[in-house]
Amino acid sequence: MILTKNIDSIFLDRDGVINIDEGYTHKWSEFIFIDGVLEALKHLSDLDKNLIIVTNQSGIARGYYTEQDYLQLEKMMLNAMKNVGIKILDVYHCPHHIDGSIASLSISCSCRKPSPGMILSAIRDHDLDPSRSIIIGDKESDIEAGENAKLAGKYLINSNHHIHEFRSTADAVYKSLNDLVKNTFELKND
């Protein structure tokens, strides 16, 4: 188990970790924060952790929604977080998928998890230390991306109860982000 007091940066998947994953969520009216997630993110923000969202968005390549639709939802999500005091350092998204219907996005890329491209970009862009960083995701591809980026820790959220814990290479499995934060991160003493 990683000592979380030594962690500076936390990479977070979006769908299934931050919001309920109904599949290709792209409208604010359909975006629902998972219970307790705002409190958990606020706690991490109060601990001065660098919070970075890394999300696969193959719905763009598949033509289900546009890049502009995605960016509009991202803006609304970040505003809602900011309104409760959550500081997000950055958001990275991968619009690609090899089986997409938009030719320019239907490619094999280095950013789609389990590839570590988004994480490595954030490390480079913000001068982060992978040995002081963890990833929290709800799919094995998130965990593999953390491994591929050589992060210090990899945590799995089993919010949809579709993960077979014994098959995961995650360091630990939690039922929600709130559960992970309550059991792993202590409040700093002021």
Provide CB contacts within 8 A for 82, sequence distance 6+.
Answer: 88
Alpha-carbon distance of 57 to 8, in angstroms, equals 26
Q: What residues contact residue 75 under an 8 Å CB cut-off, 6+ apart?
A: none
The reply to whether omega before 114 is within 30° of 0 (cis) is yes
Our CA angle for 165, 166, 170, nearest 5°, is: 60
CA 124 – CA 145 distance, rounded (Å): 16
Which of 13, 21, 138, 142 does the annotation list as catalytic? 13
**3-class secondary-structure state, position 92:** strand
Contact of 173 with 31, CB cutoff 8 Å: no
Catalytic-residue membership of 13: yes
Of 15, 21, 138, 142, which one is the catalytic site residue? 15
**Catalytic residue annotation:** 13, 15
